[in-house]
Structure 1
Amino acid sequence: MEEIVLVCIVPRLGDWDILVKEHWYHIPLMSAPEITTLAKYLAFYQPGVFGDEKWAVNYYARVLGYTIKKRIELYPDQIAHKNRDKDYYQIFVDDLIKLKNPVPSLRWRRIVFIPTTLERLCNAKEINDLYKSSPIEDVLYGEMKRKGILPERQFYVKEVGNTYCLDFGVFCKRRKIDVECDGKEFHSGEDAHEKDRKRNNELTSYGWSILRFSGREINETPKGCVEKIKKTMRKLGGEK
């Protein structure tokens, strides 16, 4: 049975001190991933404030348990914080374990939570190897990697108050490509097609080219899908 790991960001050095000395990490209840209470381990992404260990997952820890508390109970000195009365998970962890091979982010990107498995965490070469999403995304990602393409998985784009989560972001010299995997569950029917069309138009207006592949295309001809991606990349000046 796969052991679930939740990769979390540690945005501040003060949060790291709490993690190391007091052995707990907090997650807002309203924004916590569904698998939060199922995770056997937490792993920790360290951003730019962490010097030599920045922009990578270097450590993980076994989950010992959790409770739910108001933020003001966790941080009694932050009485003016806007979320002081909101509910948070306080997740208790064992001692930090250093990964034999750090998992770096090859490109600056927004990282919040990444549900993964212990096997993926221990074998990942870079941050995108951690993502455990749909089977068709895994198939296409594997084929892109084999062909030397380095996409960003579950890439968030924020534009004029809107946030979009792309299945894959591919960055070229003249333009960016949004590669979408359209499984039947979420992309069938007139309403879904209308939603996808509007999303395509919005992202195109923000400077993205969009490629969409059905689950059938990906499962039956993954190499053909990747050839279309590579052809588009060449027209856009190649990978950046």
Structure 2
Amino acid sequence: MELFPEAMVLVAVVRSPRDWRWIQTHQAYRIPVRYAPPLTPMVDFLAFYHTAAFEAERWSVRHYAPVRGHELVRRRDVLPEEPNHPRAEELYYLLQLGPLRSLPHPLFSRRWRRFTFLLTTGERLLGAQDLSELPLEGAERQLLLRPLRETRSWLLDIGAMSGSSHRLIRWDPG
């Protein structure tokens, strides 16, 4: 899937080369549900922001990948080698990714910025010269969030958990 202008893109932080290797190996990205942006299950693409731990590639976005699907899992199921981790029982979105692709040109942050996620579009990601040009604000952000507010019945992938499986729950706010 090609990155199209109207695509909803979530720019996610990759904190370490170890995490980047995990993403590349598993073709997936994990996000704790309690910290996930509301639109996480609906994004079309993920783009990856590398922190200072990446030395020469620090503070830049160089890669993106299409999101193929998502599931709700416990951390212990995603990282079985860390069964005693303090957050082992917490719920995570596991976003399944298509092939990693390189941006036509790296997107740097000219000023150091601290963030966890940025919501943007394919058009902005491909056309930006600096990370500060990515976030959607004001009317653009409201336009993107409107379908969530207008939908009276949503399928939520939270709720009854048993083992590593889950059930979808229909919620009708009205």
TM-score by length of 1: 0.55
Cα separation, 1, equivalents of 2:71 and 2:86? 21
* Structure 1: stretches of 5+ with no match in the other structure: 138-240
Which of 107, 113, 133 matches 2:111?
Answer: 107
Q: Counterparts in 2 of 1:1-240, with a 5 A limit?
A: 2-135=6-139
CA drift of 1:18 comes to 1.4
SS state at 1:81 partner? coil
Is the helix fraction higher in 1 or 2? 1
Q: Secondary structure at the match of 1:92?
A: strand
Matched residues in 1 for 2:7 and 2:129: separation? Answer: 19
How many pairs were matched up? 137
Helix, strand or coil: the match of 1:67? strand
Aligned Cα root-mean-square deviation (Å) = 1.6
CA distance in 2, matches of 1:36, 1:136: 17
1:36-60 Cα deviation digits (max 9, x unpaired): 1110000000011112211111100
The one-letter amino acid of 2:79's match is Y
- Structure with the bigger RCO (C-alpha within 8 Å, sep 6+) is 2
CA drift of 1:73 comes to: 0.5
For 1:34, what is the secondary structure of its paired residue?
A: coil
Task: Spell out, residue by residue over 1:56-111, the C-alpha distance to the aligned partner (whole angstroms, 9 max, x if none).
Answer: 11100001111110001111111221111000001011111111121111112212
What is the percentage of aligned positions where both structures have the same residue?
34
What secondary structure sits across from 1:106 in the alignment? coil
Give the Cα–Cα distance (whole angstroms) in 2 for the partners of residues 136 and 96 of structure 1: 27
Per-residue CA deviations over 1:184-203 (Å, capped at 9, x if unaligned) read: xxxxxxxxxxxxxxxxxxxx
* 3-state SS of paired residue (2:20): helix
Larger Rg: 1
Q: How many angstroms does 1:3 deviate by?
A: 1.0
Q: Match of 2:10, SS? A: strand
